[in-house]
Amino acid sequence: MGSTRHVAVLAFPFGSHAAPLLNLVRKLATVELAATFSFLNTPKSNAFVASIAADLPNVRFYDVWDGFEDGYVPKGRGPLEAIELFIKAMPGNFREALSKAVEAAGEVTCVLSDAFIWIAEDMAAEMGVPWVALATAGPASVTAHLYTDLLRETFGTGEEAKAKLEEPLSCLPCLLPARVRDLPHEILMAEVNSPFARLLHGKAAKFPLAKAVVFNSFDGLDPPILNHLKTKLQKCLPVGPFHLTAPLAPPEPDVHGCLAWLDAAPSPASVVYVSFGTVMSPPPPELAALAEGIEASGARFLWSLRDAARGNLPRGFAERTRDRGMVVGWAPQTRVLQHPAVGAFVTHCGWNSMVESVASGVPMICRPFLGEQMMMSRILEEVMGVGLAAKDGVLTRDGVEESLDLILRKPEGKTMREKAEALKQIAEDAVGEGGSSTRNFRTLLKIINPKA
Ligand code: U2F
């Protein structure tokens, strides 16, 4: 038998979901030294993220089956195919891993899961223990999913909703100025009965049952949404930004020398950083237009681009921009954004990237693709004043050149940077002694260990 407290942690093994969950576990496990945290995740995802907490003896890793039968031939349906197989394998795959964890560390006293793993609530209820969810896609995503039924009643689905793309989400004022077109597709547009849409709808119904819903965010980032959620959830706990709260994960190695390259930049806030996260990449013609826009702007740039997409850069681009640009397969993003040389970020508005950018005082050029990203692009531009949305949702050569010129060189860009700096200050205050994220973290600790 292990220690008395045993937290079962159920990860969603796709995109960047598992990393922030393990980051949160790291912070908890460092304080709750007598508790064991069993991290249940697929072998592939575990291999990718484990270094975040591998040095902690009270964090143990268990492999969960990914749903791929031996000899399964992928049907080429992209990331959704793997997600659907994983969903089909739930909850059996998690139960099997959990039984091994219980054998090693004793009965579970709390379940902590990615909010996507809505079956975690059932498992916690069966064991009579609290369930805490980490909503990795942030508060706007939770809100939209929480009100899926209302949104479907108000705007219809499929063709009916498509006729209302420009209508504002007036039935959910905290999400304004987002419009129907900005909602996660699976709420109104995609096949609402697909396994993924049903997973998201299923999880939404569970949110109010969670003892707490935790966010990699901070009070003051998007007050209307967080304030609304505080009235709907048992506990709404922004405890981030994770990359500013101790203990930090071991720093990612800077294998390509990005930071040294940034050190050599001639002036502050002069470099544009480009990354579209772990899931998406713009279609090839758009990627080429982005490169042309950056080249035309004359700006220095650091581009995190997967090797497979490099062939889509314009012919001769690398040679022509060699003296002012760097293209790498992976960058230590949080440290890149914190570097004073970085003045703009071309992003898909994934939740973590967005938080990392505002918490570093860096304005954004937004090219959202899916999920909550379109809502965030709208909010970053219209409410927070720290983002410029790609016109008609697509990056063009001229649009990129104009936006970079505005952010890096014009007074409007200076104003955006000041607004981003103000958010950075709010983030730093939140994680300081007595700050809101610090207090929320203590509340979370109390749920995990009421005697703490
Ligand atoms: C899905 O988003 P992504 O995983 O594509 O994007 P982010 O939430 O922005 O997370 C990307 C993370 O990867 C890190 C970066 C972020 O923490 O710092 N990273 C890096 O370190 N180096 C690189 O070169 C590139 C990235 C989904 F598509 C979104 O809608 C959700 O909001 C998100 C969270 O659930 O997951």
CB of 217 sitting under 6 A from ligand 1: no
Helices (H), 234-346: 258-263, 284-297, 317-320, 333-338
pLDDT band at 378 (very low <50, low <70, confident <90, very high): very high
Judge whether 256 counts as a catalytic residue.
no
Average pLDDT over residues 156-175: 95
Give the DSSP H or E segment for 437.
Answer: helix 436-448
CB of 333 sitting under 6 A from ligand 1: yes
Residue nearest atom 30 of ligand 1, based on CA coordinates: 350
- What ligand 1 atom has the least distance to the C-alpha of 138? 32
CA of 103 to the centre of ligand 1 (A): 34
CB of 278 sitting under 6 A from ligand 1: yes
Lowest mean per-residue pLDDT among 68-77, 119-128, 270-279, 371-380? 68-77
436 or 75: whose pLDDT is higher? Answer: 436
Give the ipTM of the model, two decimals please: 0.99
- Provide the CB-side half-sphere exposure for 321 (13 A, CA): 22
296 or 200: whose pLDDT is higher? Answer: 296
Residue nearest atom 13 of ligand 1, based on CA coordinates: 277
- Sign for the CA dihedral angle at 12, 14, 15, 18 comes to positive
Looking at residue 76, its pLDDT comes to 81
Looking at residue 289, its pLDDT comes to 98
Looking at residue 451, its pLDDT comes to 84
Tokens of 424: 């950075």
pLDDT band at 1 (very low <50, low <70, confident <90, very high): very low
Q: What is the CA radius of gyration of the chain?
A: 22
Q: Which long-range contacts (CB under 8 A, 24 or more apart) does 314-323 make?
A: 314/288, 317/291, 320/295, 321/294, 321/295
Average pLDDT over residues 274-282: 94
Contact 143, 220 (CB under 8 A): no
Instruction: Give the angle subtended at the CA of 279 by the CAs of 378 and 208, to the nearest 5°.
Output: 65
Distance from C-alpha of 138 to C-alpha of 146, rounded to nearest angstrom: 12
pLDDT band at 136 (very low <50, low <70, confident <90, very high): very high
Looking at residue 247, its pLDDT comes to 81
The per-residue pLDDT for range 183-226, each reduced to its tens digit, is: 999 899 877 778 777 777 877 888 999 999 999 999 999 999 99
pLDDT band at 248 (very low <50, low <70, confident <90, very high): confident
Distance from C-alpha of 327 to C-alpha of 61, rounded to nearest angstrom: 34
CA of 105 to the centre of ligand 1 (A): 32
Looking at residue 210, its pLDDT comes to 97
What DSSP designation does 249 have? P
Give the contacts of 450 (CB within 8 A, at least 6 positions apart): none
Judge whether 17 counts as a catalytic residue.
yes
Tell me: pLDDT of 162 over 80. Answer: yes
246 or 400: whose pLDDT is higher? Answer: 400
221 class by beta-carbon count within 10 Å (0-12 exposed, 13-18 middle, 19+ buried): buried
The mean of the pLDDT values for the chain is 95
Distance from C-alpha of 79 to C-alpha of 55, rounded to nearest angstrom: 31
Distance from C-alpha of 371 to C-alpha of 15, rounded to nearest angstrom: 12
Distance from C-alpha of 374 to C-alpha of 10, rounded to nearest angstrom: 27
